[in-house]
Amino acid sequence: MRAFHGQMSDNQPIRRTLAEKQKQLRDLRETLASMKSHTAPALRESVQKRIRQLESEVTAAPALKTADRRNTQVAAPGGADRPRSPRRRPERNL
């Protein structure tokens, strides 16, 4: 069976929000702190590497947000510029 475009099995990275990244960073730090002294060095190094990656992403995220805000226009109040979706008619029971 073939995968359709956008399916999780397309070998694409999972996109996470800033809050999710911060939570994952906290969890990984707790995991690293709770590791025993006999934990495999490769496992310890991989957790430390992921922590460094997440720290760099979290620190870069506020800079990206401010750049995005400068490039986007201010939306009209009430979402007037947003296209409306068609309403569904209620089904009638005859």
Q: Compute the distance between CA of residue 17 and CA of residue 22 in angstroms, rounded to an integer.
A: 9
13 vs 3, residue with greater confidence: 13
Assigned domain for 26 exists: yes
pTM for the structure as a whole? 0.56
| 2 inside domain | no
3-class DSSP assignment, residue 64? helix
Mean pLDDT across the stretch 62-71?
65
State how far Cα 29 lies from the chain centre: 18
Owning domain of residue 48:
14-61
Number of domains present in the structure of the chain: 1
pLDDT of residue 66: 65
Q: How far apart are CA 4 and CA 62, in angstroms?
A: 34
pLDDT tens figures, 17-48: 999 999 999 999 999 999 999 999 999 999 99
Q: Are 58 and 22 in contact (CB under 8 A)?
A: yes
Would 84 be classed as within a structural domain? no
